[in-house]
Amino acid sequence: MPRNDIFYDFPGLVDPPPPASNEEPSPKKTDTTLFFLGGIVMFIVLLIILVVFWKRIKGSKNTTPPKTTKGKQGKLTETAEVMDMMFSSKQQQGSMELLSGNLRTISYFDYQILRRATKNFSPTNLLGSGGFGPVYRGEREFLAEVRLITSIQHKNLVRLLGCCIDGPQRILVYEYMKNRSLDFFIYGNNADRFLNWSTRFQIVLGVARGLQYLHEDSHLRIVHRDIKASNILLDDKFHPKIGDFGLARFFPEDQAYLSTQFAGTLGYTAPEYALRGELSEKADIYSFGVLLLEIICCRKNTDLTLSLEMQYLPEYAWKLYENSKIMELVDPKLKEEGFVEKDVMQAFHVAFLCLQPLANLRPPMSEIVALLTFKIDMVTTPMRPAFLDRRRKTDFQTPSPEVISMLSHLP
């Protein structure tokens, strides 16, 4: 058919492009494109890995740590190995899990740093000693103390900052307590160590509140087992904190007492625990009673340099109490400084309640705190406390069997 369009043969005009096709590109072209893009991505990833690896190598060359220094991960690994060794039996797996979780919440200190900080553990820098010595401590006791102290927190309990596990070394790092321990102030006659009654009462109440937390308010029921003056640490304002948990025991809620081997300090030990191995929180309460007498009188519970009747403090204090002469036992420096006699008398009364010969006669720590805080009038009359009787050379002097039988049926 002839074309009549006058513009058809106009110079410079070209044929229009063919209509778009609905056909898909061939598989061969798609595969080639994907392969090309994938190669680019892999090259970029490989380049990033090489750069990171090069930076790490460069950093390790620039920083060469001492041979004795280990990173935190190394400490965690070594700690885990120690725990695996100590808690390998099925019976102790629960303890291991609790311990391993708590260990990862505290700091780890390098042994060489601690050695430099203490001038190679010089005696001149020694603030005190725990139940197992100033530096060396048994493996089991070390792990027990870490496990326990990291599971509890209270203003009247010493705070664990971290620990060091380096070969055979096992070191616990606690917060610094500027005024050392209580025994430094109440044993001795140095004038610059005198504590007035207000400060002494603050210490007594703080220790009582710390024990109340351990026995009644903590999510774990804990018996300290070694409450004594050297384990009461004092901060810069003489606020007390209970320390040295190496002998502490978790206590089942459904048991009145545990049958266990004796551990602690004899002068502070309750009779049922020392003689029969019956441990409960009432053992701590007995120890608190002895400590309270020491704070009031400013002397050790046992002093063999004194006359026979004065050597054991609870025995001598009770004799004076029966004869209405208990105020003669008060620290003479306190008398010079001045104090409210009624408050000191109440403190004596609380001490004797804590020293009762039978565990069920000793009040719980919450009641002791109430007696000290609100200065409630005393209703209960204390019995003769259990104490060492050197004249008869028996371990403890207790009430007669008839009295014990009668008291055992009391609620």
Residue 317 sits at φ, ψ, to 5 deg, of -65, -40
Biggest CA-to-CA distance, the chain: 148
H or E segment and range at residue 9:
none
Contact 222, 249 (CB under 8 A): yes
Active site residues: 226
For residue 130, the one-letter residue type is: G
| Strand ranges (E), 16-148 | 107-108
H or E segment and range at residue 283:
helix 281-297
Radius of gyration over alpha carbons of the chain, in Å? 36
- Written as one string, the DSSP assignment of 47-82 is HHHHHHHHHHHHHHHH----TT---HHHHHHHHHHH
Give the list of residues 6+ apart from residue 144 with CB closer than 8 angstroms, or none. 245, 246, 248
- Written as one string, the DSSP assignment of 253-268 is TT-S-EE----S-GGG
